[in-house]
Structure 1
């Protein structure tokens, strides 16, 4: 193997962050909804576009993972930028406030553009940083989380784009911005030469063995037959579902709990809004980096167990924590911090279990768990909320997180040709 460095590998990190800052635009959708409601949209209409965007994101990501080896990461990134940019640009030029045009342009085309590009920085980063897989994945996906905050502020309180230029022009500006930044970041989306290793890095025996997990682990649909995939998938469903349910209720439930504890409606609304917009959101981004870094030190399995146990305890305790301003902020911070950790730990767990070389093809299947969690978690919270029993939703999700920790405990190394991945 060679450690001659063909380019500065930290440029890959710069490119990855630029790309993910733009792909995180899907979580900035909420900044457009007030103007759309003023234009006659119902609340359901606004959520349909968002839901279709998430569905297309997850579904197309599976297709993109299968194209990664054939097309190469740079080409796939360029296509992602063009498709994402075209979706938002067309939304501005053709629709502005038309439901069906925005559903097609932002929900379907924009969501597809995100799905095409999402896995590329993760797969490329792991190949350039086999010694820091957790840190690099955390940095990349933190860009996705922080990007949403930046695009929301640019359209709203920082840049006042919607106020000064209108909704259509803002979509168009974002479309050109997304295409330019993603394509620019894609310049550095290339795999290192075959056999390249960072200077001073010696791979574990499992990565250099002829029966290496890198070369012999199942890929694509064959992945679904392994019990390791099933346990990782279910743990991700439970952990993501608890976080997404908490996001959906992070303002609604604390407002109710705080008013029951003696706060006025205005005070409760302000406190709950701060818990979500500041403490949860910031911790969500930081958690991606910190959990990724910690996993490089203590291992992915131990990190997921600790994360899901602490998340389970926090979610179980949240109905009590939500009754006090300070304790609510603590609870929102811990739940956001652990929720962000999902997006750093599960890609690297997939890489460790089935090979970093295969993560571009395999992680999209694991990531479908996020979509499943996004259905069961928020719907569970909504149904029990309508029944007047929000605390039960937190209890169920907290128990599921603890169950996820148990499933991870029983996840053993992959066996290949009579040997385990660690032999």
Structure 2
């Protein structure tokens, strides 16, 4: 078969390598080359979930073997700029808040720009921000200035997270109109899997670079920045867009219907966020994520405090354990956390793919109904000592947490069309920013409040679980209220044509083939191996840790 050019140059000025015109695929381009490109970016930025691997080493960056405490009279700002005492883990933990606040903010602010600039430019800028932020953080560790970590990885890196996260959404949905959920699930699965690869890799690098005078963190940041920049750049340059009008061979779009939850029209970004559907889906995502993200952050202490010595066959509470016994159950809890991460990843692909068959609204109804039942059962399972069922319940919960992220882009495409779905998705991710504060607040502060009130550690999570049940009930109500978008919000044919011109799109020639080549080719195999092998390595490391549970 004659070779097919990868892209088509449009008339006018010669497009630059990052311009959207350079990403428009020629007829016959293999769409299965696009998901690995998206995965390459998401697997790198997904390390945001694994940044806690740095907290303990950084808390003794000066002392090396033990934290070097600041004098008792040291003020906050003095401690922040001090080069003579170590940082507290709680200060380092602010990185998480910065990550997700700036992820949502950047996605909302730059979503419209992404649709016009194209995924390649957005992906490359994301690489510059995420990797550049790591370099700034490395300088912050080297000079012992925590504000440089907050600025570098937290703010600059957070902007890279937002751009990188939404960069493939619109592209994948346009390449896979027949399997929207599966396509976005494949990419967003990578965000969940980034920590599974990055955390053990960072741990090995820190051990390699550690010396009697250094914990090896700043060197690790620089190595990760170089590795991530190569992978993210490869992903960005691997993006291709289909020509307007392209569709898979043999696929027929579903017929339009007033009752259909999949529209054949498009809604402009400026109108989409003013619709009730946008805010209902915003509520659906925020409430689903709030419940899951709080549990994810407290999984390890929760298992230890609820079951205590029963994790190692002893009928003792957590406070009655010796330091050696607490070390044993901490190892088991780390395996529990790894298992939850694995289900978070698998759930992104499983639930998003399932949503192509049963519909997005039904999928979220399952999330909320099943979640309500599981969260409500957690206290009883804990008090009854049912460790296996307790673990299984949280594994399913975390699969639905990941599935909520992966399914929502397809839900938006169903509601608002595909023309500006990436930008709309960016606006919606502000729900994640809110959830990133609400979820951990509920679990950590309610836990501390109950402990101060004298509630035993094994029971402090009971009330919290019932509050999360209430959040899920609200989410279910939001989901049930979602209806198709009213026609008054749809773009007219003239408005759509004008938007396509602004987005530098090119329509297919009338006689151009619509079929894509076979899914498996040597190029496709190599692309999937490049992202698949690191994922398999990370999964193997995670499973090894999880086996401690059994």
- TM-score of the aligned structures, taking structure 2 as reference length: 0.71
User: C-alpha displacement at 1:269, in angstroms?
Assistant: 3.3
Say if 2:205 and 2:216, in contact at 8 Å, map to a contact too. no
Cα–Cα, structure 1 residues 162 and 66, in superposed 2: closer, same or farther, change >3 Å?
Answer: farther
* Partner in structure 1 of residue 242 of structure 2: 192
Say if 1:271 and 1:325, in contact at 8 Å, map to a contact too. no
Counterparts of 1:137-148 in structure 2, within 5 Å, are 137-148=184-195
CA-based RMSD: 2.3
* Partner in structure 2 of residue 230 of structure 1: 279
User: C-alpha displacement at 1:88, in angstroms?
Assistant: 0.9
* Partner in structure 2 of residue 384 of structure 1: 446
Distance 1:53 1:219 in 2: 24
**Which structure shows the higher helix fraction?**
1
Task: Note if 1:29 corresponds to 2:51.
Answer: yes
Say if 2:351 and 2:363, in contact at 8 Å, map to a contact too. yes
Say if 1:217 and 1:416, in contact at 8 Å, map to a contact too. no
User: C-alpha displacement at 1:403, in angstroms?
Assistant: 2.5
- Give structure 2 stretches of 5+ with no counterpart: 1-24, 62-85, 451-459, 491-550
Query: 327, 330, 333: which is aligned to 1:269?
Result: 330
Distance 1:184 1:321 in 2: 47
Deviations 1:376-395 (A, max 9, x none): 12111122212324211111
Deviations 1:312-341 (A, max 9, x none): 221222223334321222122111111111
* Partner in structure 2 of residue 202 of structure 1: 252
Say if 1:228 and 1:414, in contact at 8 Å, map to a contact too. yes
* Partner in structure 2 of residue 362 of structure 1: 424
Counterparts of 1:314-329 in structure 2, within 5 Å, are 314-322=374-382, 323-329=385-391
Query: 336, 339, 350: which is aligned to 2:412?
Result: 350
- Give structure 1 stretches of 5+ with no counterpart: none
Distance 2:218 2:204 in 1: 18
Cα–Cα, structure 1 residues 307 and 93, in superposed 2: closer, same or farther, change >3 Å?
Answer: same
Distance 2:36 2:130 in 1: 20
Distance 2:461 2:364 in 1: 26
User: Secondary structure of the equivalent of 2:419?
Assistant: helix
User: C-alpha displacement at 1:418, in angstroms?
Assistant: 9.5
User: C-alpha displacement at 1:158, in angstroms?
Assistant: 8.1
Query: 383, 391, 401: which is aligned to 1:339?
Result: 401
Distance 2:354 2:361 in 1: 11
Deviations 1:138-190 (A, max 9, x none): 11011111111101010115884554781111111111112111110112223
Deviations 1:263-317 (A, max 9, x none): 5643543443322222x11100000000011001111111111112111221222
Distance 2:27 2:302 in 1: 53
* Partner in structure 1 of residue 178 of structure 2: 131
Query: 196, 214, 217: which is aligned to 1:167?
Result: 217
Distance 1:7 1:217 in 2: 28
Task: Note if 1:43 corresponds to 2:80.
Answer: no
User: C-alpha displacement at 1:402, in angstroms?
Assistant: 2.5
Query: 65, 68, 72: which is aligned to 2:114?
Result: 68
Say if 2:189 and 2:345, in contact at 8 Å, map to a contact too. yes
Distance 1:75 1:4 in 2: 19
Say if 2:140 and 2:146, in contact at 8 Å, map to a contact too. no
Aligned residues: 411
* Partner in structure 1 of residue 455 of structure 2: none
* Partner in structure 1 of residue 200 of structure 2: 153
User: Secondary structure of the equivalent of 1:187?
Assistant: helix
User: C-alpha displacement at 1:20, in angstroms?
Assistant: 0.5
Cα–Cα, structure 1 residues 190 and 4, in superposed 2: closer, same or farther, change >3 Å?
Answer: closer
Say if 1:275 and 1:328, in contact at 8 Å, map to a contact too. no
Cα–Cα, structure 1 residues 159 and 298, in superposed 2: closer, same or farther, change >3 Å?
Answer: farther
Cα–Cα, structure 1 residues 270 and 169, in superposed 2: closer, same or farther, change >3 Å?
Answer: closer
Distance 1:103 1:178 in 2: 19
Task: Note if 1:410 corresponds to 2:481.
Answer: yes
User: C-alpha displacement at 1:246, in angstroms?
Assistant: 1.0
